[in-house]
Structure 1
């Protein structure tokens, strides 16, 4: 992958470069344990992020906000992410655009289809699955 392709890919995946680098600088300033947790979450998110750059930028900025506040308050990492980090990350991601986040979109599609099949109105137009 060329530098131009990487640049376009990064812009698409994580949003504008300036916001990405600002997020990275913030995460580097976190205390070591918090930084390690953020880096692990970031790695996981890089596999499942929506394709909407603005949502991604906001998502990573909010992740930095959350961990900065927790570090400032002395909140233990387990109080932030709980015992199941995957569940935490998946719940966290659901607050952002579902446009490119296939699992969330497919969960909604399944839920709507089953509700429609059960004769329940979902508030959205039923479409064949």
Structure 2
């Protein structure tokens, strides 16, 4: 990854976060909590994929339709996130494999 890639990545991230700041406050809170949750247990390809952009698009459509954020995601935001990543290999899966001693994992 060259310096240009890093600079372009930062530009894209800043533009993404500017879109988040344009959301109503309740949407921002839920988005940031989802982001924290997904960065902690989310899919390995979270940064490379379009999951966060897709969530942001979904939220922007909800705002345009005049719906509340909890109408879109429900009361259990973590369960909503889990449904989004249910078929993805996650960091939590890697950790579970390492502590269970499954074949193909390195043991310490």
- Give the TM bin, normalised by the shorter chain: 0.5 to 0.7
Write out the 4+ residue segments of structure 1 that deviate beyond 3 Å after TM superposition: 102-106
Match of 1:94 in 2: 86
Matches within 5 A, 1:1-129: 16-52=9-45, 53-55=47-49, 58-94=50-86, 98-99=88-89, 101-103=90-92
Structure number with higher relative contact order (C-alpha < 8 Å, ≥ 6 residues apart): 2
Q: Contact (CA 8 Å) 2:42, 2:92: kept in 1 or not?
A: no
Question: TM-score, with normalisation over the residues of structure 2?
Answer: 0.67
The unaligned stretches of length 5 or more in structure 1 are 1-10, 107-127
* Contact 2:44 2:91 (C-alpha < 8 Å) held by counterparts: no
**Residue deviations 1:10-69 (CA, integer Å, cap 9, x gap):** x7xxxx3333222111000001111111111112112123232321xx111111101111
Larger radius of gyration: 1
- Compute the displacement of 1:103 (Å): 4.3
Instruction: Indicate how the Cα distance of structure 1 residues 71 and 104 shifts in structure 2: closer, same or farther if over 3 A, else same.
Output: farther
In structure 2, stretches of 5+ residues that fail to align are: 1-5, 96-102
